[in-house]
């Protein structure tokens, strides 16, 4: 295996409950502790369960601190956490089997355990749960997928950037929709590797170039994009506003996600300062995806 937990290794499972507003932040808080993370909506009321597994027994104090800070960042109390040692098993494979095929617009997303045939006319995306975020089940990813599909019906693009690519799902879908080059960038080396593997698996390896980058400034100088997608979190989106605006061609589109409804005014203000105008809003389960367009005139620093 190239990612996740190796077969026959003893593992510890970290389990906690979350809600629609907290589960992304809590799952991200486990990234430096667990080698495989999965999150699933377990009830129509927005209840989520997060499972993380690691081959190293987690430090309970560090775990509690990380989760408390993550919960506080979205206005939630610290979650109750259960840690248990499990028998040796391929836990990542168990997570993958629990990941059912998912339809989002014209996209049909499925794991390697799926033995059926993707529906005719759908964009079939093969993607396994892994340590990189992004399998399409969260409202932020779904919002981006719907925005990409709607945009593809209206216009063509030249070059695209998926900033904070995670698993690479958005870069892969963009490459499939437009058959044009896409840069998939992430600060995390594991995410870059997994995005590259997923692009090859979905036969867009020649179009999707996965790179390690901390923001837009670390990418090639003077490169401009017709489309930039950034599914991150509200505060990083605000910090990246200047770089994203400069990297967007006049008339180009920026899709932002990872922000709660209450965080939209702050994020939108940061981009309006850079002359990016709101064209569409997609609201799903308390999360907003914003589709912005850069004006034709020059963007000031």
Tokens of 60: 């309970």
pLDDT > 70: what percent of the chain? 86
- Domains located in the chain, CATH noted: 11-97 (3.30.70.120), 134-294 (3.40.50.150)
Euclidean distance between CA atoms 186 and 134, whole angstroms:
12
Strand partners, 287: 260, 284
- Return per-residue pLDDT of the chain as tens, 301 residues: 233 344 456 788 899 999 988 988 898 899 888 877 777 777 667 788 898 888 889 999 999 999 999 999 999 999 999 999 877 655 555 555 556 788 999 999 988 778 888 999 999 999 875 655 666 678 889 999 999 999 999 989 999 999 999 899 999 999 999 999 999 999 888 889 999 999 999 999 999 999 998 878 666 555 799 999 999 888 899 999 999 999 999 999 999 998 888 889 999 999 999 999 999 999 998 889 999 999 876 444 4
Give all strands of the β-sheet with 160-163 in edge-to-edge order: 208-212, 182-186, 160-163, 225-231, 248-260, 287-294, 276-284
Question: What pLDDT score was predicted for residue 287?
Answer: 87
Half-sphere exposure of 101 (CA within 13 A, CB side): 18
Give all strands of the β-sheet with 102-104 in edge-to-edge order: 102-104, 107-110, 123-126
Model pLDDT for residues 52-70, shown as the tens digit of each residue = 888 889 999 999 999 999 9
Model pLDDT for residues 127-154, shown as the tens digit of each residue = 875 655 666 678 889 999 999 999 999 9
pTM above 0.95, yes or no: no
């Amino acid at each position: 295996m190239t990612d996740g937990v190796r077969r026959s290794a003893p593992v510890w499972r970290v389990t906690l409950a979350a809600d629609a507003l907290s589960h992304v932040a809590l799952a991200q808080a486990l990234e430096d502790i667990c080698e495989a993370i999965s999150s699933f909506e377990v009830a129509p009321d927005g209840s989520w369960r997060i499972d993380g597994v690691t081959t190293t027994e987690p430090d309970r104090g560090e775990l509690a601190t990380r989760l408390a800070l993550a919960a506080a960042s979205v206005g939630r109390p610290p979650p109750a956490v259960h840690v248990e040692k499990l028998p040796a098993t391929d836990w990542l494979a168990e997570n993958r089997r629990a990941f059912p095929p998912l339809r989002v617009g014209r996209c049909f997303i499925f794991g390697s355990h799926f033995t059926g045939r993707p529906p005719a006319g759908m964009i079939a995306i093969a993607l396994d749960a892994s340590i990189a975020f992004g399998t399409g089940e969260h409202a932020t990813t779904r919002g981006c997928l719907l925005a990409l599909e709607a945009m593809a019906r209206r216009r063509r693009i030249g070059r695209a950037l998926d900033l904070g690519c995670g698993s690479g799902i958005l870069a892969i879908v963009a490459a499939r929709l437009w058959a044009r080059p896409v840069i998939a960038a992430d600060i995390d080396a594991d995410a870059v590797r997994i995005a590259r593997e997923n692009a090859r698996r979905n036969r867009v390896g020649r179009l999707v170039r996965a790179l390690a980058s901390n923001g837009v400034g670390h990418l090639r100088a003077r490169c401009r994009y017709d489309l930039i997608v950034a599914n991150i979190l509200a505060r990083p989106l605000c910090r990246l506003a200047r770089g994203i605006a400069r990297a967007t061609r006049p008339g180009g589109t920026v899709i932002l996600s990872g922000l709660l409804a209450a965080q939209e005014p702050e994020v939108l203000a940061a981009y309006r300062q850079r002359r990016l105008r709101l064209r569409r809003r997609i609201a799903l389960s308390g999360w907003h995806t914003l589709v912005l367009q850069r004006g034709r005139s020059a963007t000031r620093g």
